[in-house]
């Protein structure tokens, strides 16, 4: 009992009361702070509370009371699985996101934004086995909150909350998942998602086909090399499970296992199904017969003829929709990019109909590049029941959507640029204001303000007396194309020297013509 | 003991084990979930654990086991102090952010992004009295994390972590503060910040003056009406506190009180200083004599002559820098926008030199608008010691920066648009693909794919047989300027009808000329 400097711990009502001395402020704060988590457990007898607090305080003392050592042990880092984005990365990212967003806008989508966190209960029972990966916020009094896990559930919550029955929206934002980060593959605990979704009751498969068209446009536009979109339907999967003899209560669990087939061998997946999830071995093997199949629209027709599957109502609905989907995809000119793949499962609980996932088929563009295993770069599907989970009366709004895996795309493009040693400009500065003389700061400041006020992107050195060579080198290193030079002679003659960094040519221009001349040069380049 | 359907509860090691039946899956999940919070308190005897679990389960049963009622009690909302941004709001926001970012780029800034959360210890002792407003994440094993409170501390952490000695960067991102939300004033617990900062050892006040220039450019550019930037210096404040007789240990606390003068009367602030912070009443009154002063560069000169302040080394340094700052601001042509205001304090602990805050002077633009109290719309200052707090060896990088209060600007602009009944287009769709006939879905899909592939923003109705009037009304309601119409006659003649929504004029165009004609029309409008 009793760490140093601690006199007494007691509980008054449901709040702990501390009497402490010595180095106690820090510790007391810590204790009170931690205690808040536990005072809800008011049913534990008072004596046990004080016993518990003493233990907390002892632990706190053990870890906290070394202020001098602390600084040298202090490791500066970002949290596990997260990273800063450097200016170079930001430039690449901005280009890719611009391209993705402009595709979403080309398809008539509106923008939407939702908070980074949601009420915890909004996220429960939406993600199946993945729910354990949700980041919760600490209970600091008030509502229990969790960081959003995707942009789909917040969208469904938005639709239900505002009773919106029809909407085509895009959303670019960060989401958070407590996954084991395998950073080499571009997987992070914080990452950006770009989602496009169509909500509303429409004639079948038209919005679904548009989603696949969008994925094709984006992946083609980004020139990531050849790709394929695997397509399946949750109802076909459920039909397969049913005709193979999986008990209905195990559909979700077995679907989860099938979803792992792109990362695990059939042997391991089968073992999970049989040993961990209690499936009969012969049932597992029957599933395997189906999930090996993949092909084009002919496979859809073949499955219609399957003696067992053709007896299952759900499967028939799914197959009928896929047939229609392929018809529309042919009209869009993208049918050859699509593969009906019975092993595609998508782990998330909320999908109800067609599901899809785009994968890159090979290393992008050039043979000399390192091959990169990047897995899927876009995915999505139909979720007709999710909005109803939020609506007080259970009213549903059918939805279909897609999510572009931009993080993986970022890492592919970055890798490609590294391979080719491409240099990225991280600023957009057009003009540098320089001087060859001492004591010309005032003139430089007056001049640069004129440029800024004319909308010209300009920089100068934050020095009273910089060297001309240093100033010119800075322009060469950072890719600034133009320099304006002001010195004694120029001031006397009422001119400014305009220098092209690339050609090193200089011309004298009158002050009043400077802005116009710069704008002319910039528009020509 | 024992709620319905519950047989046995026991503890195995540090994990609870449940044996349950009946409606137990939901409850069991809940119990295990809650239990995880408490199993770390492993020191409590086993018998008490089971006792406690039984109580949790009883509570859970009381609140959870009414599935039918539950749904109706379920409130769909965003967390307290947060909100979704509607498509209309997103359009306004995008315009304002574009304008702000283009100003940052005009001044040569690079982009940077940091994670939404930081290691908790990175944020401690940076925010003074405001530290209680930091959102912590729940301890789910691993590191202790907090949501970022601003973009300045993550920037300083980035500089220290990467040993960057010089950088001009901007950062647009969300930050989170557990404040009491007064939503009418545009204050939220989640909000967007736009920061620009210059890090590096430079000649005095040149980067500081550029920061003020940037604030002026942005506020002028957004046409928010007249504004004023209050300027002060932490060293001048410290000098005032010293010569008034404030003990050095109370500088931060008294500075915090002075910071409240824009929201509270002097009477209340004085009371806080004297009654809560233990300052002698005559000391408080001496402070009041100073902090009432505000004016231009002449006030700087006057303070140089102040018999007490002129004896204080810190204050003299601050005054010297302000004199230089005003000189540069005059060269930038913005000196008349700046007021030296001795009451400006800025609560954050990390400022070390010049500080500033921009306030709107009156309701924007038009007299018929409702007056809006929006307080400060931009702020910043110099923080030369923050990077050193992260560096293991305490190496410093001097920094100065600014933050644009875009949320308040958003609400002003939204309010203005509401007042004037301005309609905002939330999509950018240029062309709608319509048909007057039944069974033309296939032709419409082929046609719209051609438009998309040519980069034209196009929509159609997700119906097999939509009515022509419905299609044309949609265009009028959403502001789509052009309609292409395909029907039996057009198909027979190999043409498409192109209709202007505004003039209702229609012309027939051959299929191969359609894209070119649309692009011509769009470039003319």
Q: Which of A74, A140, A202 sits opposite B462 (nearest CB)?
A: A202
Q: How far does CA B77 lie from the centroid of its chain? A: 20
Q: What is the tens place of the pLDDT at every residue in B113-142?
A: 999 999 999 998 888 778 889 999 999 989
Q: What integer best gives the mean pLDDT of chain B?
A: 85
Tokens of A399: 């939805």
Give the distance from residue A118's alpha carbon to the nearest chain B alpha carbon, in angstroms: 6
Output the pLDDT for position A286.
Answer: 96
Which residues in chain B have Cβ-Cβ distances shorter than 8 Å to A464?
203
Q: Which residue, among A36, A37, A72, A79, would best test binding to B if mutated, counting the most B CBs under 10 Å from its CB?
A: A79
Q: Which residue, among A331, A390, A431, would best test binding to B if mutated, counting the most B CBs under 10 Å from its CB?
A: A331
Cβ atoms of A215 and A107 within 8 Å: the answer is: no
Q: What is the DSSP string of A384-436?
A: SSHHHHHSTT-----EEEEEE-HHHHHHHHHHHHHHTT---------EEEE-S
- Judged by average pLDDT, the poorest of A179-193, B44-58, B346-360, B436-450 is B44-58
Helices (H) and strands (E) in chain B, counts: 19, 18
Question: Which residue of chain A is at minimal alpha-carbon distance from B105?
Answer: A428
| CA separation for the pair A188, A457 (Å, rounded) | 35
| CA separation for the pair A377, A270 (Å, rounded) | 26
Output the pLDDT for position B118.
Answer: 97
Question: Which residue of chain A is at minimal alpha-carbon distance from B147?
Answer: A137
- Give the global pTM: 0.84
Contact B445 A117 (CB under 8 A): no
| CA separation for the pair A215, A224 (Å, rounded) | 12
| CA separation for the pair A451, A472 (Å, rounded) | 18
B326, with CB counted inside 10 A (0-12, 13-18, 19+), is: buried
Three-state secondary structure call for residue B196: strand
H or E element, residue B248: none
Would you tell me which residues 327-356 of chain A have a C-beta closer than 8 angstroms to some C-beta of chain B? Answer: 328, 331-333
Cβ atoms of A148 and A119 within 8 Å: the answer is: no
Query: Pairing state of beta strands B110-111 and B117-119?
Result: unpaired
Burial B156-169 (b: 16+ CB within 10 A, else e): bbbbbbeebeebbb
Output the pLDDT for position A21.
Answer: 33
Would you tell me which residues 253-282 of chain A have a C-beta closer than 8 angstroms to some C-beta of chain B? Answer: none
| CA separation for the pair A19, A12 (Å, rounded) | 12
Output the pLDDT for position A79.
Answer: 95
Tokens of B401: 């920066």
Q: How many CB atoms lie within 10 A of CB A298?
A: 10
Question: Which residue of chain A is at minimal alpha-carbon distance from B84?
Answer: A114
Output the pLDDT for position B130.
Answer: 82
- Judged by average pLDDT, the poorest of A183-192, B161-170, B320-329, B419-428 is A183-192
pLDDT profile of chain A (525 residues), mean per 10: 34 34 32 35 35 39 37 79 96 96 98 97 85 94 95 97 97 93 69 97 98 98 93 96 95 91 92 95 96 94 95 96 98 97 87 95 61 75 96 93 94 88 92 96 97 98 97 96 96 96 96 96 90
**Which of the four pLDDT bands, split at 50, 70 and 90, describes residue B418?**
confident
Question: Which residue of chain B is at minimal alpha-carbon distance from A218?
Answer: B453
Query: Pairing state of beta strands A145-147 and A117-119?
Result: antiparallel
| CA separation for the pair B311, B317 (Å, rounded) | 11
Contact B121 A74 (CB under 8 A): yes
Residue B104 CB partners (closer than 8 Å, separation 6+): B170, B194, B196, B214
Q: How many CB atoms lie within 10 A of CB A288?
A: 17
Q: Find, among B453, B434, B441, the residue nearest to B515 by Cα.
A: B453
Output the pLDDT for position B120.
Answer: 95
| CA separation for the pair B157, A75 (Å, rounded) | 11
Would you tell me which residues 198-217 of chain B have a C-beta closer than 8 angstroms to some C-beta of chain A? Answer: 198, 200, 202-203, 206-207, 209, 213, 217
Does A119 lie at the interface with B, CB-CB under 8 angstroms?
yes
Q: What is the tens place of the pLDDT at every residue in B229-267?
A: 999 999 999 999 999 999 999 998 999 899 899 889 999
Contact A449 B333 (CB under 8 A): yes
Output the pLDDT for position A127.
Answer: 84
- Judged by average pLDDT, the poorest of A296-300, B1-5, B326-330, B482-486 is B1-5
Q: Is the pLDDT of residue B322 over 60?
A: yes
Burial B421-440 (b: 16+ CB within 10 A, else e): eeeeebbebbbbbbbbeeeb
| CA separation for the pair B434, B457 (Å, rounded) | 14
């Amino acid at each position: 009992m009793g760490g140093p400097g601690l006199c007494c711990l007691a509980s008054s009502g449901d709040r702990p009361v501390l009497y402490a001395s010595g180095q106690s402020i820090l510790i007391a704060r810590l204790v009170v702070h931690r205690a808040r988590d536990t005072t809800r457990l008011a049913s534990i007898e008072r004596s046990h509370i004080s016993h518990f607090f003493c233990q907390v305080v002892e632990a706190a003392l053990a870890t906290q009371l070394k202020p001098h050592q602390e600084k040298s042990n202090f490791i500066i880092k970002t949290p596990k699985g997260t990273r800063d984005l450097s200016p170079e990365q930001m430039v690449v990212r901005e280009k890719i996101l611009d391209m993705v967003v402009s595709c979403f806008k080309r398809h008539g989508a509106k923008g939407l934004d939702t908070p980074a966190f949601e009420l915890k209960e909004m996220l429960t029972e939406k993600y199946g086995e993945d729910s354990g990966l949700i980041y919760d916020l600490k209970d600091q009094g008030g509502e229990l909150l969790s960081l959003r896990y995707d942009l789909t559930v917040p969208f469904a919550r938005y639709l239900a909350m505002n009773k919106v029955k029809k909407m085509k929206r895009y959303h670019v934002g960060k989401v958070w998942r407590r996954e084991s980060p395998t950073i080499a593959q571009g997987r992070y605990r914080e990452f950006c998602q770009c989602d496009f979704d169509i909500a509303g009751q429409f004639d079948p498969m038209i919005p679904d086909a548009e989603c696949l068209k969008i994925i094709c446009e984006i992946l083609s536009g980004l020139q990531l090399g050849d790709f394929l979109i695997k397509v399946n339907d949750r109802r076909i999967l459920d039909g397969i499970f049913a005709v193979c003899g999986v008990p209905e209560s195990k559909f979700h669990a077995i679907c989860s296992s099938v979803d792992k087939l792109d990362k695990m061998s059939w042997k391991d997946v089968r073992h999970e199904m049989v040993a961990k999830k209690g499936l009969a071995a012969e049932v597992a093997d029957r599933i395997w017969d189906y999930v090996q199949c993949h092909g084009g629209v002919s496979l859809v027709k073949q499955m219609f003829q399957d003696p067992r599957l053709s007896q299952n109502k759900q499967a028939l609905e799914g197959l009928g929709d896929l047939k229609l989907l392929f018809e529309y995809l042919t009209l869009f000119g993208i049918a050859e990019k699509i593969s009906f793949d019975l092993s595609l499962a998508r782990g998330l609980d909320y999908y109800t109909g067609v599901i899809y996932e785009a994968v890159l088929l090979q290393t992008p563009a050039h043979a000399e590049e390192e091959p990169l295993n990047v897995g899927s770069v876009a995915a999505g599907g139909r979720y007709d029941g999710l909005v109803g989970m939020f609506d007080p009366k259970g009213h549903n709004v059918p939805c279909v959507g897609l999510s572009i895996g931009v993080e993986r795309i970022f890492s592919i493009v970055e890798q490609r640029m590294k391979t080719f040693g491409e240099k990225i400009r991280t600023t957009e500065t057009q003009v540098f204001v320089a001087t060859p003389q001492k004591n010309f700061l005032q003139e430089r400041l007056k001049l640069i303000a004129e440029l800024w006020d004319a909308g010209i992107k300009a920089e100068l050195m934050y020095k009273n007396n910089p060297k001309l060579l240093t100033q010119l080198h800075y322009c060469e290193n950072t890719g600034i194309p133009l320099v304006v030079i002001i010195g004694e002679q120029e001031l006397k003659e009422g001119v400014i020297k305009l220098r092209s960094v690339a050609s090193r040519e200089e011309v004298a221009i009158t002050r009043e013509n400077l802005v116009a001349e710069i704008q002319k040069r910039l528009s020509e380049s």
